[in-house]
A and B are shown apart, each in its own frame.
Chain A
């Protein structure tokens, strides 16, 4: 049962959090927002961007500011499931479970597409179930638990691209964009001043994050907005009567039902972070791209014509009338 104090404290703390992150991370406001939405909505984020854009720093800073434990796993082809989940080791009185790096509140799975599918599956299973099984024992993962996986979109050789079913388990996909000139200057300035990069101070705690998640979950969403979210997802399916011409022409598979969940949960988190007590149509529209872009599978014709999944998501959104 949340109280009004929970609400006020969570809102104040998250406002402070954004300020703190801003002291460390230059730009990337949209990515920060998407990651915060995902954490508040108890989801995971797939970060996609070229190397050197500060993805690791961003995740580390967020975890630190949230007052949560953080671990980073660099995925490589020879990484085994036990390397991330943990293993049973023998000590004097028998076998004892030694938790792997997965047992942290915020896990950065760096270059997740470089690990073999077996290891990827271990990670993704933990994401889905919130627990990890080693041998015959099941171990609960920390709560809150968020995986932020990165992918390098340009260096695909020797990688194991995540199957669609596994990509679907990420609540959002955030595209980390190259900084602007101004932001680049600020980055250079901060990194060459000799002081090094200072991580933000913790402004929340594990319990505070859990309360904030509870508050977000309690946010009311009127049924017409849920219908809108469902209609948006249906509009990405080429066989749907709601689908626009571009979707019919370029989409191989549309978004899954998890897309609707992502839209509504993300809208709730966004409304909370915006300081409102209700979810609006603009919240759903704002989370449309990160919620659906990795769930729409374009066909070969789209690749040939240079039509991206984000473009198709936008076309689908245009075809659905807001309530």
Chain B
């Protein structure tokens, strides 16, 4: 092997060694930053980890003093200063010395891998592993990082804008809660906005009041943050905003906003405003949904009690909707008895409905149907369809047959009631 080839190989391996060292350094720093971020509940920018391969590239290309590099590499490879001496000779030394020096190096059988996996590198790898284990045992922050935009915020919050069918499909029927009638998909959102684990301790009125207050607070905070962001915060503004941020219910948002306000830089304040805005939007959605949900959970028992008569057991959940409920519904349909239609009676097998005969007769009186936003039926029914989003409720009052099937499958509606429900939605959909 010629001296140039030997030196070229060693140079290549030392470049790899440098790349590995830079990469390991980056990993250690990233792990350390992750550890600190998790310990303090901060969000770690993705750029920290993205920088590791960049660092490897920098390490590979980093300019080096080859005479020193060869001196150290020779020692690590067990050939002492021979590599450095060979380098000197290769640049114009005596050939009588090159040959024996080359032979000595070849006889030592240096393992270039030792350059990459030296004691320092192994120690750093062990340290990184230990750090990684420690980091893995720390729980992730699980917060809405204020530094993140609305996209990331939406991940942390329950997605209230999901398609109804998709939302329903994801809910296994076996996990339907017992208090199904009072269940609202907005409960999670409300809990997230208010930073509560359990909403059961609060009455619906209290919940609504707190939600409105929280939204108001968040809106005010957003406006103040945006107004004060330009040019950074003055000490007075910082104190004022910190006092406002202190009142935010959601703890991780509160901490993050406080930290960003304490920093005071324009960019940080804008981040805080974005984060608060995202939660304020969520609070608005939750307020709208919760209001409807509260009505639903309040009214369902009333209606049930009405239908249940003397026994007062009117709290049957939607999935256990009984004949009494159907009769009660008949009353709300302006006198048209739903239970009279074939195949719609309690316990009756499904038979095709009287299609085409439900239109108003020329001389007959049109049934008094209340539709739109004013009708009590709508108020009752729309929130009573679990998981239906607020936006959908505002534009469409019925489910498609496919969605009905999903509701039936997902909510564990008893088989004997399924046809009734199908029929019910057919009528609502204008297909009597």
* Contact surface of A with B, Cβ cutoff 8 Å: 1-4, 6-7, 215, 218-225, 277-281, 323
Contacts and interface: CB of A to CB of B under 8 A. Distances in A.
Nearest to A3: B96
B80 A278 contact: yes
Nearest to B89: A220
B68 A4 contact: no
B87 A6 contact: no
B351 to A, nearest CB: 98
Contact of A278 (B67, B94, B99, B101): B101
A159 B156 CA distance: 94
A277 B101 contact: yes
B93 A280 contact: no
B81 A278 contact: yes
A222 B85 contact: yes
Given A222-B88, A277-B101, A277-B104, A2 B96 contact: yes
A7 B88 contact: no
B428 interface: no
Contacts of B80: 278, 280
Nearest to A323: B71
Interface in B83-118: 84-89, 93-94, 96-97, 99-101, 104
B100 A7 contact: yes
Contacts of B82: 277-278
A285 B55 CA distance: 38
B74 to A, nearest CB: 9
B283 interface: no
B72 to A, nearest CB: 8
Interface string B54-86: 000000000000011011000000001110111
A218 B99 CA distance: 14
16 contacts: A1-B94, A1-B96, A7-B96, A7-B97, A218-B94, A219-B97, A220-B88, A220-B93, A222-B67, A222-B87, A223-B88, A278-B81, A278-B101, A279-B85, A280-B80, A323-B71
Contacts, number: 63
A279 B82 CA distance: 8
Nearest to B100: A277
Interface string B383-402: 00000000000000000000
Nearest to A223: B67
Interface of B: 67-68, 70-71, 80-82, 84-89, 93-94, 96-97, 99-101, 104
A281 B97 CA distance: 19
Contacts of A224: 67-68, 71, 84
Contacts of A6: 96
Given A2-B96, A4-B100, A222-B71, 6 more contacts: A220-B93, A222-B87, A225-B81, A277-B82, A278-B80, A279-B85
Given A280-B80, A323-B71, A220 B85 contact: yes
B75 to A, nearest CB: 9
B81 A4 contact: no
A236 B87 CA distance: 30
B81 A222 contact: yes
A234 to B, nearest CB: 18
B70 A222 contact: yes
Nearest to B88: A220
B69 to A, nearest CB: 10
A225 to B, nearest CB: 7
Nearest to A278: B85
Contacts of A218: 93-94, 96-97
A4 B99 contact: yes
A278 B93 CA distance: 12
A222 B81 CA distance: 8
A281 B81 CA distance: 8
A4 B95 CA distance: 8
Contacts of A219: 97
Contacts of A323: 68, 71
Contacts of B99: 4
Contacts of A279: 81, 85
A173 B68 CA distance: 31
Nearest to A221: B88
| Highest count of chain A CB atoms <10 Å: which of B67, B85, B100, B104 | B85
| Highest count of chain B CB atoms <10 Å: which of A219, A223, A224, A277 | A277
B230 to A, nearest CB: 50
Contacts of A7: 96-97, 100
- The list of the 7 closest CB pairs from A to B, nearest first, reads A278-B85, A222-B84, A220-B88, A218-B94, A220-B85, A223-B67, A277-B101
B67 A2 contact: no
A322 B333 CA distance: 98
Contacts of A277: 82, 85, 97, 100-101, 104
| Highest count of chain A CB atoms <10 Å: which of B80, B88, B93, B104 | B88
| Highest count of chain A CB atoms <10 Å: which of B68, B94, B97, B100 | B94
Nearest to B84: A222
B67 A220 contact: no
